[in-house]
Amino acid sequence: MRTALFTASYNRPDLFLEVLKGLEQNEDDLENIDVYHYIDGGAESKQEELLAHIKESKLEHQEIILREENYGVGRNLIGAR
C-alpha cells in the first residue's frame, strides 16, 4: 500500500511554490508516496498559476484535482478519503 500526500491550494501561488520546492528537495523520500494536489476554483482563485507550478515541478506520482469552486480544506479532506 502506497502512502498519499495531500495538498490544498486556492490563491497563494507563492506559498504553494515553496511547498513544491520543499517536496522536490526530499524527492528520494517521496519515492513511494502519491502526491494529490487539490486546487480550488472560484472568483479569487489562482488556479492557472498553481497548476503551472505543479506542471513545472519535478515531482513524480502526482495527481491534480481541479475544483470549480472554493471547497476549503475541510471539504477537500472529506472528498479525498
User: Model confidence over 2-14: pLDDT tens digits?
Assistant: 788 999 999 999 9
What tens digit of pLDDT does each residue of 12-67 get? 999 999 999 999 998 788 888 899 999 999 999 999 999 999 999 988 888 999 99
Q: What angle do CA 41, 43, 44 make, to 5 degrees?
A: 85
**Residue 81: which residues within 8 A CB-CB, separation 6 or more?**
none
| pTM, entire model | 0.87
Q: How far apart are CA 40 and CA 17, in angstroms?
A: 16
Which phi and psi (to 5°) does residue 63 adopt? -130, 140
Query: Do 38 and 45 meet the contact criterion of CB atoms below 8 Å apart?
Result: no
Kindly tell me the sign of the dihedral angle through the C-alpha atoms of 5, 68, 49, 72: negative
